[in-house]
Structure 1
Amino acid sequence: MWRWIAFYVRLTDRISDYVGYLAASLIFFMGATLLFDAVTRNLIRMPVHWAVELTQFTLAAYYFMGGPITLKNDEHVRMDLWYGNLSVRGKAKVDIFTVWCLIFYLGVLLAGSISSLAYAIATDERRFSIWNPSVIPIKSLMVACIVLMLLQAVALFFKHVATLRGEDLR
């Protein structure tokens, strides 16, 4: 059984790494889009109305895609008033409790995002702007990334249990 769990943890970590590195590369795309907007608006005097909105969509994708790798690398925000003074096993016990709170939160978030995506598909929801883009792609990405964050949270649970048992799943 531990072999399958170790495989699951490694696979989830690898997917989170890949998605996270892909998210990091979106910064360059956002910069290029905003530079293109600045050049067309100020030098050519022919503004493109879609550039800022595309950058907003890309920024949302950046946040969604960065979530799983943030969980994997344990780089999320934590109140360190007393947690930092705990032993490794003590931290693992606290993390086992808090990861279930995270899983509950992500489950509620997933239910809401699926509902929002279903509404967007049913109504062909679009942004009210000159460009008028569909929101279905970004909402689909949101659902996919929340699922990946849930998978990563379960992998974190297994890692914390392994820490309590004195094992390493990496």
Structure 2
Amino acid sequence: MNGLLKLSKLIDWLTERIGKSIIWLVLIVTLIGAGNAVMRYTFNYSSNAFLEIQWYMFSAIFLFGAGYTLMRNEHVRIDLIAGRLSKRAQTWIDIFGIIVFLMPMAIAVMVMSWPIFLLALQNNEQSSNAGGLVVWPVRLLVPIGFFLLVLQGISELIKRIGFLLGRCPDPTEKPRKPTPEEELALAIKAQKGEL
């Protein structure tokens, strides 16, 4: 189990690096969008390439961020029943969900998207829009993104089994940080105390 927990930490390290890196894509997408709007309204010039590169980057953010979201336990959950169960029961539900739903879906999408990427690369597929970009790089994002999700799914499975065996802390526990509202209230109180 110790070797598996080390593997899990390595996967988490990779996921953390990728997750923190793609945050910069949000800034780049915003700047490209703003630049495109300025060019369109100031110089009456626009290009489909600007729009498509935004779509490509948004795809990268979504696909590469899925594993990061899973690791941070920020994905959508419906806890009507599970929220009332013990941590061990919740962990068993997570294990079931990872094995039965997450992994088969992610592996299937990864495997089925690979030939689509290869075909686009072989044909040097181009956008059908005037001035558009080549398509194969964005087609490659799908199998890579789902591969990263599969890796993180393996890590989450290891951590949950480790938790059940008492070998690691609860992977779903989030460190308690003050909310932005609480931080603001504390700052206001501190400022009033100084006045």
TM-score w.r.t. the length of structure 1 is 0.93
In the TM superposition, what whole-angstrom CA distance separates every residue of 1:28-49 from its partner, at most 9, and x where no partner exists? 1011001111111111222233
> Over the residues paired in the alignment, what is the CA RMSD in angstroms?
1.4
Which consecutive unaligned segments of at least 5 residues does structure 2 have?
172-195
Matched-pair contact (CA < 8 Å) for 1:117–1:140? yes
Amino acid across the alignment from 1:133: L
Instruction: String of CA shifts for 1:5-59, please: whole Å, max 9, x gaps.
Output: 1211111111111111112111110110011111111112222332111111111
Aligned to 1:49: 48
Do 1:64 and 1:145's aligned partners in 2 also have CA atoms closer than 8 Å?
yes
Which protein has greater RCO, CA pairs closer than 8 Å, 6+ apart?
Answer: 1
Instruction: Give identity over the alignment, percent.
Output: 22
8 Å Cα contact 2:52-2:132 kept in structure 1:
no
Aligned twin of 2:28: 29
Report the counterpart of residue 104 of structure 2 in structure 1. Answer: 104
Residues in 1 aligned to 2:154 and 2:68: alpha-carbon distance in whole angstroms: 14
**1:122 Cα deviation after fit:** 2.3
Give the secondary-structure state (helix, strand or coil) at the position aligned to 2:48: coil
Q: Does 1:165 align with 2:136?
A: no
Give the structure 1 partner of residue 124 of structure 2.
124
- 2:146 corresponding residue in structure 1: 146
Which whole-Å CA distance do the structure 2 matches of 1:69 and 1:36 have between them? Answer: 29
Q: Distance in 2 between matches of 1:50 and 1:144?
A: 23
8 A contact 1:26–1:62 mirrored in 2: yes
Contact 2:15/2:68 (8 A) holds in 1: yes
Q: Which residue of 2 aligns with 1:9?
A: 8
Tell me the residue number matched to 2:72: 73
Return 5+ residue gaps in structure 1 as ranges: none
Distance 1:143 1:160 in 2: 25
Quickly say closer, same or farther: Cα 1:135–1:49, change in 2 above 3 A.
Answer: closer
What amino acid is the match of 1:21?
A: K
Which amino acid counterpart does residue 137 of structure 1 have in structure 2?
P
